[in-house]
Amino acid sequence: MERLRTPFFIVAMVAAVLVVGLEIGQPFLVGGLVTSTDLAAQTGALGLSMPAGGVTPQPSGIGVPYLALVDFVAVFTVGLMGAGMLLPDRLHAKAQGVVTLVVSIALITTALVLLFIALAKMIFMVVLLFAFPFGTIAYLIIWGSFPRGEMAVILSVLMFLKLVFAGTLVAAQQRFIQNKGLVALVFTSLVANVIVAFLHGMVPGILVSITDAVAGIVVAIIAIIWGIVLLIGSIPAIVNAVRASARLAADAAAEAVPT
């Protein structure tokens, strides 16, 4: 078997952790307050009247933070690989199934909750937008100014880090390419990144908050699917661990019986 190149593997782990950290920390990097001059121009184009000047809240979005649901699976998978390098094979085999089961249940539960939050937010924004004129004005004040440019930069950085993760993982050991589940996970992560970027760029600026919520819904569904995959995959590992423990217990009992 080809030897694992540890430095490249460590770089892959660091890149994966940075991806999740940037996604979770994105609301603290983007958002805040923005001048309402641009919003006044946008409302004027819609035939509404809104005073210019002052500041209004700028939403930080949920599409990018929701990507952490999918990319956490990559961090978890790489973490299991790293644990296999440090722990004895027997202990790693026993712990892997149980840990994967717990993580998959937590992932599915979290993704379901966030899915309903994103769905409720999207419905509320759409209803408010079409409640002309006062609902529309309220929507524009709260969600009309979306930091699309800053989000594009963050998504570009995330894509770069994900490519670094994929490249260094292959450089660590080419046999990782034969792992269909790992390849599918990396591909899914890249596609989810593209989906969020596409939904941010496909509509006028005042509607990006809605498509951002749609992106959150799509990513949450993808995370639920991967959580189910992890859940199903943990069952054989748990069964094998239980069988191995039962065999060890039977052998120990047989040795304890006097001949």
| Residues 215 and 199: beta-carbon distance below 8 Å | yes
Does 47 map to a domain? Answer: yes
pLDDT tens digit sequence for 95-133: 777 888 899 999 999 999 999 999 999 999 999 999 888
pLDDT bracket for residue 246 (50, 70, 90) = very low
Does 81 map to a domain? Answer: yes
Does 246 map to a domain? Answer: no
Residue 223 confidence (pLDDT): 96
Q: How far apart are CA 212 and CA 63, in angstroms?
A: 5
In angstroms, the Cα distances linking 44 to 37, 80, 125 are 11, 55, 20
- Residue 83 predicted with pLDDT over 80: no
pLDDT bracket for residue 44 (50, 70, 90) = low
Does 188 map to a domain? Answer: yes
Does 258 map to a domain? Answer: no
Does 91 map to a domain? Answer: yes
Q: How far apart are CA 202 and CA 219, in angstroms?
A: 17
* Nearest C-alpha neighbor of 193 from the set 33, 71, 55: 71
pLDDT bracket for residue 164 (50, 70, 90) = very high
Does 127 map to a domain? Answer: yes
Omega of the bond leading into 133 within 30 degrees of 0 (cis): yes
| Residues 123 and 257: beta-carbon distance below 8 Å | no
Parent domain of 112: 6-234
DSSP 8-state class, residue 4 = P
Number of compact structural domains in the chain = 1
Does 59 map to a domain? Answer: yes
Least confident interval from 42-46, 103-107, 230-234: 42-46
> Whole-structure pTM over 0.85, yes or no?
no
Higher per-residue pLDDT: 94 or 49: 94
pLDDT tens digit sequence for 165-216: 999 998 988 888 888 888 999 999 999 999 999 999 999 888 999 999 999 9
* Nearest C-alpha neighbor of 209 from the set 124, 135, 131, 132: 124
